Amino acid sequence: MTRRERAAVATLILKRLLMAVPSLIGVVIVTFLLTRALPGDPAAYFAGPAASKEAVEEVRVKLGLDKSLPEQFVRYVRDLARGDLGTSLTTGQPVVSEIRTRLPASAELTLLGLIVSMGVAVPLGILAATRPGSLIDHACRVVATAGVSLPVFFTGLILVYVFYYLLGWAPAPLGRLDIFFSAPPPVTGFYLMDSLIAGNGELFLASLNQLVLPALTLGIFSLAPIARMTRASMLAVLSSDFVRTARASGLSPFTITVTYAFRNAMLPVVTTLGMVFSFLLGANVLVEKVFAWPGIGSFAVEALIASDFAPVQGFVLTMAVMYVALNLMIDVLYGLIDPRVRIDA
Amino acid sequence: MTAVPALAVEDLSVEFRTRSGVVKALEHVSFAVGKGETLAIVGESGSGKSVTAYALMGILDPAGRITAGRAVLGGLDLISASASQLADVRGREIAMIFQNPRTALNPIRPVGRQIADVLMRHGNVPRVEAPARAVDLLRAVGITDPARRAKAYPFEMSGGMCQRVMIAIALAARPALLIADEPTTGLDVTTQAVIMDIIAELAGESGMATIFITHDLALAGQRADRVVVMHAGHVVENAATRALIARPSHPYTAELIAATPDSAASLDALASIPGSLPDLRRADLPPCRYSERCPRKVERCDAPLPRPALAEHFVACWNPL
Ligand SMILES: Nc1ncnc2c1ncn2[C@@H]1O[C@H](COP(=O)(O)OP(=O)(O)OP(=O)(O)O)[C@@H](O)[C@H]1O
Ligand SMILES: [Mg+2]
């Protein structure tokens, strides 16, 4: 990349960041209104069923819920600006510290799921496209159809039933680590990395063991869209004019498929990855429930059930920020692959 | 024509299997090109010019099948050659440039790298020397500031510039035969002439044979030594350019020449030729595929056509002019 191109990529990033500001403001407003619209009265909930009317009112004042909506909003934004997402009423912990421990759990799971599914789906899509009508092409089509029709909690339960209950190969689906282990000293928050950093191989294997089934569940879930997109985009590129030129120049099949076709075919696949990742964020909620994963999804669900505002707000905001960050990463990746983006930017 | 042609095509037939039936795209196509000679293939859209080129290059669509024929290039029959033999010939002995130079180049690879890829594959050029040799080739096709241009991407270049890059890619391995499929369509007139001059000059230097596919009979008349006229997958006439233009024998050729009154008009303006190409999926295609449009049709036209022998002036017609 030339200096001009690097500058263009930097401009691109800056532009995208600025463009994200209005959507983030929107998210702040919407989450505030949405959590206020939740059914149930949190004051009554936390005062307990036996509480007197006065006790409930006391809790209401303590939570600031007696104020008008605009007043509550101003307070909410002021706290946000200080990096304070409030305190969870159920756990009594600050939401920020809850998210800080739970987000890496979800992220580790989601990333591993994505890696698993890319590792299978991308080669599958390429092989299917280079051999149309072959066995592997049909296999790809089966995967693409089956993948979308299997609900994610169902896959999770089946995997648990077969590999834990029947075969006993997998550990009990009870979180990130077996109770006999204690978590590695946190550096990245990813147990796989932290255990390696701590030089603890046993711990690494133990956390990998716990990760396999839930990651597989997410992987199976995202297999279909990635495989389908890779196949379609490879097919399109393989019949394009420049691949015909490469063939006519006698370049080797490997160079044609990988250097010429695949790099071009990656562009729509990268876009799909962004979409798949946001699907995964949603699927996480279910998978975390099935595997008792102490992630951010299960945290949000529990808070939602308890009409606990602050964690729900914190969750939605975190997701929005993740989403913006993700799209930024995809834009950068796109710019790295495609010179047209970085030079035109 | 020299004694041993650079390429001799005999009886080439190609079919496409499609959902709506078998397209008999080429039937008994024969012609030869001598070393250093330029052969033009002309014909209206859909007459099978590109299919002929793709069949020779071995880059037909998967739906396409060569059902018969031989195409001998330097002692090797391209049609019956093994995949590995073809892989060595393609790009080295026989190269091709295409219409739409902008889409014919890899959009996300610097053009110098694309030339270097071919050099490393065919030219026995070591990896370290390939970039410099690519710059030499860019200079040879008349690109100014070639060292800087080698790092550019196709979208940063004009159509004419891209076509020069295509020529550099095609000629990287000094092939014995170059097929140029409408290399100047979509370029402005000045650039067209420049591109044709570059091809002619480089061909002349190395004694390379050239097959030049075009819609433009006038351009073919200026540039080619011989002209092959194709219609609906048949070669209808094959003659030295001067003879063909001065005294066309096939009724279709005559119509083409009449439809190209001055050298400016091209075959795109073929509305004046009555009728259209027959549907090549039909089971009842007549032996002469022009007979249904032909003003000189006689009874004998329902008999099988004379086979395209490699005659000096060949006409596939029972009632020639
Ligand atoms: N992949 C394919 N599948 C089916 N039929 C095809 C295919 N490719 C070409 N054909 C058919 O073969 C015939 C010849 O096409 P070809 O592209 O060679 O024409 P052409 O003379 O090059 O025309 P043009 O001047 O428009 O480039 C056409 O009738 C076309 O429909
Ligand atoms: Mg064509």
What average pLDDT is seen over chain B? 88
- Residue B236 in domain: yes
Q: Tell me the count of A-B CB pairs closer than 8 A.
A: 81
Give B1's pLDDT tier (boundaries 50, 70, 90): very low
Q: Are residues B221 and B283 in the same domain?
A: yes
Q: Which of B9-18, B156-165, B278-287 has the lowest mean pLDDT?
A: B278-287
- Residue B47: give its domain's CATH number: 3.40.50.300
Q: Do A263 and B57 touch (CB under 8 A)?
A: no
Whether B289 is in the pocket of ligand 1, judged by its Cβ within 6 Å, is: no
Q: Which residues of A19-45 are buried (b: 16+ CB within 10 A; e: fewer)?
A: ebeeeeeebbeebbeebeeeeeebbbb
Q: How far is the CA of A240 from the centre of ligand 1 (A)?
A: 16
Cα separation, A217 vs A211, whole angstroms: 10
Q: Are residues B153 and B296 in the same domain?
A: no
Q: Which domains does chain A have, with CATH numbers?
A: 1-90+306-345 (no CATH), 102-305 (1.10.3720.10)
Q: Are residues B140 and B196 in the same domain?
A: no
Domain boundary among B150, B174, B198: B174
Q: Which of A228-232, A299-303, B132-136 has the lowest mean pLDDT?
A: A299-303
Residue B297 structural domain: 7-93+175-315
Q: Are residues B86 and B37 in the same domain?
A: yes
Across A155-177, average pLDDT: 85
Domain boundary among B122, B149, B174: B174
Whether B51 is in the pocket of ligand 1, judged by its Cβ within 6 Å, is: yes
Q: Are residues B166 and B243 in the same domain?
A: no
Across B232-254, average pLDDT: 92
Domain boundary among B174, B192, B226: B174
pLDDT in tens, B249-296: 999 999 888 877 554 555 555 556 777 888 888 888 888 999 888 888
pTM (whole model) above 0.90: no
Across A268-297, average pLDDT: 86
Q: Are residues B179 and B167 in the same domain?
A: no
Judge residue B287's burial from the number of C-beta atoms within 10 Å of its C-beta, 0-12 exposed, 13-18 middle, 19 or more buried: middle
Label residue B114 left, alpha or beta by phi (over 0 means left) and psi (-120 to 50 means alpha).
alpha
- Residue B29 in domain: yes
- Residue B158 in domain: yes
Q: Are residues B201 and B299 in the same domain?
A: yes
Cα distances (angstroms) measured from residue A63 to each of A35, A80, B204 = 14, 16, 90
Number of domains in chain B: 2
Across B38-51, average pLDDT: 93
Ligand 1 pocket: which of B14, B15, B16 to mutate (most atoms within 8 A of CB): B16
Q: Are residues B137 and B208 in the same domain?
A: no
Q: Report the share of chain A in percent with pLDDT over 90.
A: 21
Q: Are residues B207 and B75 in the same domain?
A: yes
- Residue B1 in domain: no
Whether B252 is in the pocket of ligand 1, judged by its Cβ within 6 Å, is: no
pLDDT at B309: 61
- Residue B246 in domain: yes
Q: Are residues B272 and B160 in the same domain?
A: no
Q: Are residues B22 and B82 in the same domain?
A: yes
- Residue B321 in domain: no
Q: Are residues B152 and B129 in the same domain?
A: yes
Q: How far is the CA of B230 from the centre of ligand 2 (A)?
A: 12
For residue A47 the two structure tokens come to 């005062």
pLDDT in tens, B292-312: 888 888 888 888 887 766 678
Helix (H) or strand (E) holding B180: strand B177-181
Choose from A2, A137, A245 for mutation: most chain B CBs within 10 A.
A245
Closest residue by Cα to residue B311 from B240, B252, B247: B240
